[in-house]
Structure 1
Amino acid sequence: MSLHPPQPAAAHPPDKLPPRLFNARCRACWFSLALLLLVLASFLSLDLQWGAFFSREAAASMGRFLGEFFPPDTSPAFLKKVALGAWETLAMSALGTLLAAAAGLLLALPGSRLHGGDAAWARRPTRWLLNALRAIPELVWAALLLISAGLGPFAGTLALAFHTSGVLGRLFAEAIENAPSGPGDALRAQGVGTLRVFLYATLPQVLPQLMSYTLYRWENNIRAAAVLGVVGAGGLGQLLAFHMGLFQMGKTATLIGAMLLMVGLVDALSHLLRRRMAG
């Protein structure tokens, strides 16, 4: 028989209440509220004709316009021209992305702090350069480069490479800085140089992430390459601008279908490659 008196059963703690939707001390709540007010102010400041957009006349006009796209032009001669334009667009995007990945990696090294004791004196000016490269849209780059490179895919390829270098360089720099420092610290403690530490410790850790970023930007550059042709940079976009300007809507429909098909195939291929790298 126990000499200790029985202890009362512990009361179950009350269920924790969910946090309040808005808290005066929550900075994220105030930021979200300010962002919501900014969006509302944007709607009020713009002259958006919602009534005209959803009117019966607008729907009838859009229906007549879409009807002009049918039937698409499927003549063998034009399909051959579309295939050549699609190949040119694909080549522009692939080569531009490859050049951007190489330039982005070269700029990411001085644009990142490789370890805790790294002075990284070139980090800030390199990041300014990366900001400048990606702040200029591809269309503006293409318009500038058409003066020196002339009409055609060369200007479009360079435009993609310049803009994407700024994007990938910043993403690569962030990935390098956030890589685990343990393997690199172990090599540096044995007197291994900075370049060999990067090649044997940092790069193997971040390489799948760098490849994923590159493939994702390739997807985006497929769409951008199709648009760049509007300013004379070659590919499907140049054909689209030409035939749409002549109101040849059957040919325009074929070109739009080719763009959709190409983007869908590249997206599926890129997604498959990223899944294999992640697995």
Structure 2
Amino acid sequence: MRPKQAANLPYRLPPPLFHARSRALWISLSLLALVSASFWSLDLQWSAFLSLEAAQSMARFVGEFFPPDLTPRFVNKVALASLETLAMSALGTLLAAIGGLLLALPASRTHAADPALARAPTRLLLNALRSVPELVWAALLLISAGLGPLAGTLALGLHTTGVLGRLFAESIENAPPGPAAALRSQGVPAGRVFLYATLPQVLPQLVSYTLYRWENNIRAAAILGVVGAGGLGQMLAFHLGLFQMGKTATVLAAMLVLVALVDGLSALARRLMAR
């Protein structure tokens, strides 16, 4: 393209960052003001936190975790609880992936002429599902499901459905429109357009989001046991409440191993999909 032709194009470069018309400047200044107001409004006692007395107290507390309880009987109980936590997270994530995909379809506008009448109410439902934390869902479900892993699994599924549904909907809306438009122009029904044009393009992204949420749900499943939802969290709350620090240290070590294992499996799955 010749320079004269390029000069006649209607496009303009964005203003410099330090310019009154730069949106990035005003957004950055607003965020800086918000952070400054947060430091000013909160009673952060940094002097007490960084004092020698606080460091000594923390060192004594950490020292109580050693040595961990590695008796075969207790290690076997921790291993069974780890499997329960892993199963809770996997099943909850699977239910959320299915529910999120089913809700993402009505929550997305697939093309410009799509009326998407259910988009607003479905997105409101997704907002409601993910705005309630997993702990609150578990506490509510304990009333009907009782103590144990069922309440924790359902709590993970409900919260993660709201998260994945929103992410899936954004992926579907941002998919390249060309293949889908070509099929629609040939009179192909909307369901087949999604299966043969949109889904193959967004599937790697959907799987990546699901694996990431599975990593998060491992940590969440370990915490849900605090309210009686089973798994390692229930053991952690029990032994920590009785100040059995050696047993607590073993449970914490099992949590670290479990999270590292799932992180490694997730990274391996992503590398295999990228080939």
Q: TM-score, normalised by structure 1?
A: 0.92
Which residue of 2 is the match for residue 265 of structure 1? 261
Q: State the alpha-carbon separation in 1 of the partners of residues 274 and 127 from structure 2.
A: 29
Which residue of 2 is the match for residue 187 of structure 1? 183
Q: State the alpha-carbon separation in 2 of the partners of residues 26 and 182 from structure 1.
A: 33
Which residue of 2 is the match for residue 142 of structure 1? 138
Tell me by how many angstroms 1:278 deviates. Answer: 2.1
Matched, 1:220 2:216: yes
Q: How many positions carry a matched residue from both structures?
A: 261
- Report the aligned-residue RMSD: 1.1
Residues 35-184 of structure 1 aligned to structure 2 (within 5 Å) = 35-184=31-180
Tell me by how many angstroms 1:26 deviates. Answer: 1.1
Tell me by how many angstroms 1:198 deviates. Answer: 0.7
Which residue of 2 is the match for residue 255 of structure 1? 251
Letter of the aligned partner of 1:252 in structure 2?
T
Q: State the alpha-carbon separation in 2 of the partners of residues 122 and 56 from structure 1.
A: 59
Cα deviation code 1:16-70 (max 9, x no counterpart): xxx9662222111111111111111111111111111111111111111111000
Matched, 1:246 2:266: no
Q: State the alpha-carbon separation in 1 of the partners of residues 33 and 116 from structure 2.
A: 40
Bigger Rg, structure 1 or 2: 1
Name the SS of the counterpart of 2:69 in structure 1.
coil
Q: State the alpha-carbon separation in 2 of the partners of residues 203 and 21 from structure 1.
A: 38
Letter of the aligned partner of 1:163 in structure 2?
H
Q: State the alpha-carbon separation in 2 of the partners of residues 135 and 68 from structure 1.
A: 37
8 Å contact kept, 2:69–2:247: yes
Letter of the aligned partner of 1:217 in structure 2?
R
Letter of the aligned partner of 2:235 in structure 1?
L
Name the SS of the counterpart of 1:240 in structure 2.
helix
Cα deviation code 1:141-169 (max 9, x no counterpart): 00111111111000000000000000000
Which residues of structure 2 form unaligned runs of 5+? 1-14
Name the SS of the counterpart of 2:55 in structure 1.
helix
Letter of the aligned partner of 1:79 in structure 2?
V
Tell me by how many angstroms 1:271 deviates. Answer: 1.0
Letter of the aligned partner of 2:94 in structure 1?
L
Name the SS of the counterpart of 2:107 in structure 1.
coil
Which residue of 2 is the match for residue 203 of structure 1? 199
8 Å contact kept, 2:17–2:24: no
The share of aligned pairs that are identical, in percent, is 76
Cα 1:20/1:110, change in 2 over 3 Å: closer
Q: State the alpha-carbon separation in 2 of the partners of residues 93 and 251 from structure 1.
A: 23
Name the SS of the counterpart of 2:271 in structure 1.
helix
Which residues of structure 1 form unaligned runs of 5+? 1-18
Q: TM-score, normalised by structure 2?
A: 0.93
